[in-house]
Amino acid sequence: MTRFAIPLVLFILLVAFLAIGLRHDPHEVPSPLIDKPAPAFQLAQLRDPSQTFSAADMRGKVWLLNVWASWCVTCRDEHPLLLQYARSGALPIYGLNYKDKREDALSWLGELGDPYVLSVSDNDGRVGIDYGVYGAPETYLIDRDGIIRFKQIGPVTPDIWQKTILPLAQKLNE
């Protein structure tokens, strides 16, 4: 009996490891910024470059910062979802227009709709580097004290929105 038990257990362990490995997306690197203050920035607004917006303006509010660009194809997939989330009014969504051309970004919003309260232009991607951005779209959930509580790399799927972001935001808003 034990002759078979040991290899069987080893085999099940191996299968378990492989199964976990297959489900694990190596492209998702855990951000060291979770539970750390959101890096400060002050950038020109996309629609009105004479106005600036800074992360500090959002003190006292729970909000989402979504990194997007008109050249980013996955952002296009995410966009209708963002519009839907914005319409629900659950959380204010702000956009960080990452390494984009202003006219491209504006026509993108004009064509597809604008889910953002406002977007800021990070033309040279410097703020992106501060936020550890390496693959748009990326979304940060920032709490009232300006602490990053959650980061989504890749699109915010309805599943993540419902099961992770909304409950967390609710807790943070209490």
Partner 1 sequence: MTKQLRFVVFGLVLLSTAGPTLSAKEAQPSAADPVLEQRVMKLSRELRCLVCQNETLADSRADLAEDLRTQIREQMKAGKSDKEIINYLTTRYGKFILYNPPVDPTTYLLWFGPFVLLLAGLFLLFRYVKQRSGLIAESPLSAEERRQAEALLAAESGKETA
Binding site for partner 1 (CB under 8 A): 26-27, 29-33, 71-74, 99, 124-125, 129-135
Please say which residue, 100 or 114, places its beta carbon nearer to partner 1. Answer: 100
Q: How far is the CB of 135 from partner 1 (least distance, A)?
A: 7
* Residue 82: C-alpha distances to residues 66, 112, 115 (Å): 9, 11, 6
Residues 161, 122: Cα–Cα separation, whole Å: 25
Q: How far is the CB of 134 from partner 1 (least distance, A)?
A: 4
Q: Are 150 and 34 in contact (CB under 8 A)?
A: yes
Please say which residue, 82 or 172, places its beta carbon nearer to partner 1. Answer: 82
Q: How far is the CB of 90 from partner 1 (least distance, A)?
A: 28
Please say which residue, 78 or 172, places its beta carbon nearer to partner 1. Answer: 78
Please say which residue, 16 or 171, places its beta carbon nearer to partner 1. Answer: 16
Please say which residue, 8 or 129, places its beta carbon nearer to partner 1. Answer: 129
Q: How far is the CB of 162 from partner 1 (least distance, A)?
A: 24
Pairing of strands 138-142, 148-153: antiparallel
Q: Which amino acid makes up residue 117?
A: V
* Residue 30: C-alpha distances to residues 25, 38, 110, 120 (Å): 11, 15, 34, 25
Beta-carbon contacts of 173 under 8 Å, excluding residues fewer than 6 positions away, are 62
Q: How far is the CB of 82 from partner 1 (least distance, A)?
A: 18
DSSP structural state of residue 155: -
